[in-house]
Amino acid sequence: MQRIFCLFAFAFCFHMVSAQKGKPVSQQLYEAYDQYKEPSITHRRFKHHAIEPLILRLKEVSGFTITQLGASIEGRAIYDVAWGEGKTQVLLWSQMHGDETTATMAGLDVFNFLCQSDELNDIRETLRKNITIHFIPMLNPDGAQLFQRRNILDVDLNRDALRLTSPPSVLLKKMRDSLDADFGFNLHDQSTYYTAGISAKPATISFLAPAFNYKKDMNRVRKNATKLIVLLNEALQQYIPGQVARYDDDFEPRAFGDNMQNWGTSTVLIESGGYMDDLEKQQLRKLNFMAILTGLHGIAEKDYRREKVKNYEKIPKNERYLYDLVVRGLQREVQGKYYLLDVAINHIEIDFDEHNHFYTVGSIQDVGDMSTYHGYREFDATGMTAVAGKVYPEPQPDIAAVRKLGARALMRDGYTTVAVRNLTGYEAAIPTLELDITSNRTEEDNAIKIGNRANFILQQDGKPVYAIVNGLLYTL
């Protein structure tokens, strides 16, 4: 009986491995992702001290070489994580901008993948034999500490490839030169409001094979980058159809990507944008994991060579036609006359708790005819009249007192905003309050004007039916 069970188990495992082998590499990676996701990083505002132990523990793992390349201005270590034995050198760097963390998260997941042994060993072995990976997970740790784009000098590292003012820029240039890297992955995040062309779909992932001169010439180095992008686009279309875009390729002589291309490294820029209801970019993290490893496998197997440069040009351009919420067709009364308007709203992130957390402020970005623009969410307010939300007449002592008022009851009476004398705990409470909290804002600040808070009531036949409070839609 035991022998029969063992034979059955062997046959089952063989079947599973065979089934995996029949799938594209990108699909295998995507479907297996959860077992490699680094569990200690669950949100995008992590700091250097959170990932440093995860990097250093790889010193104990066979096949990895961890090297401290140097340090940031404030003394935080910058590491190279190396793996593989192949002749083709691939350099990846993430978080050149301190608040662009998606690929850093994905990089930790890639390291976990390379550590393990399972049914995807064929992929690992192909990578190990054919390429050597050098991954710098956090190039700008000082910027990451403040969750800001630039470093502590207020220098954009991606505009420092010529002067090399900042230590991380010097380290990246030395690393490229010492490897004479064949391929480079320049890993970034972009605005969530970019679209794939003029469509309503967000540019969830955008690519660029940077130009190496003003003429935007195509030499062998840049062509290889475009071909690799075509391969990655094909893989991503299976999971985010119509949500891949191509970044503007105007030559920027100070940028690292453009110079890497010029120095002989076929460089692919990957920009992680927006995805519906993915505020912490965990789905984007998964897509990055799949795309990075698919790209590395495509290099290892030289699969990119079969792709055509003309298909790179077919990827729609990165455009900006998206908002968080578009309210369409509302009426606004001014001096006794009614005017038809659309209102476009974005949720602006405000840091607190030493940049570890944030809350959002609903801000009116545009007013008028928004028929050629789109929203992650849209609401048809045809037949409804918008009136500015009122400020509750009695300031409350604290947040606890605000909760007792009853948000929906206040909205039905036309109130969206409450003044509070003691704002302790204000930031953390915002997601659960359903009201706009202020210390001194007036009803004029709730008028439907660009730059104002998005706080207004939608009435139908004189009755409140919906409320927009801090940029969020509530039914009454």
Domains in the chain (CATH in brackets) are 21-319 (3.40.630.10), 323-475 (2.30.40.10)
- The stretch 129-134 carries a mean pLDDT of 98
Q: Which two structure tokens, joined as six digits, stand for 377?
A: 């969410």
For 238-337, where are the alpha helices, taking DSSP H only? 256-263, 282-300, 309-313
| CA pair distance 96, 179, nearest whole angstrom | 19
Smallest CA-to-CA distance from 447 within 457, 439, 437 is with 457
| CA pair distance 293, 188, nearest whole angstrom | 16
338 has pLDDT over 80: yes
What's the chain's Rg over C-alpha atoms?
Answer: 26
168, 78 Cβ separation under 8 angstroms: yes
189, 238 Cβ separation under 8 angstroms: no
Q: Are strands 322-334 and 318-319 parallel, antiparallel or unpaired?
A: unpaired
**What number of other Cβ atoms are within 10 A of residue 252's Cβ?**
16
Length, in residues, of the chain: 476
Q: What's the DSSP call for residue 162?
A: T
8 has pLDDT over 70: no
20 has pLDDT over 80: no
290 has pLDDT over 70: yes
Can you give the pTM of this predicted structure?
A: 0.94
Model pLDDT for residues 448-472, shown as the tens digit of each residue = 999 999 999 999 999 999 999 999 9
SS3 233: helix
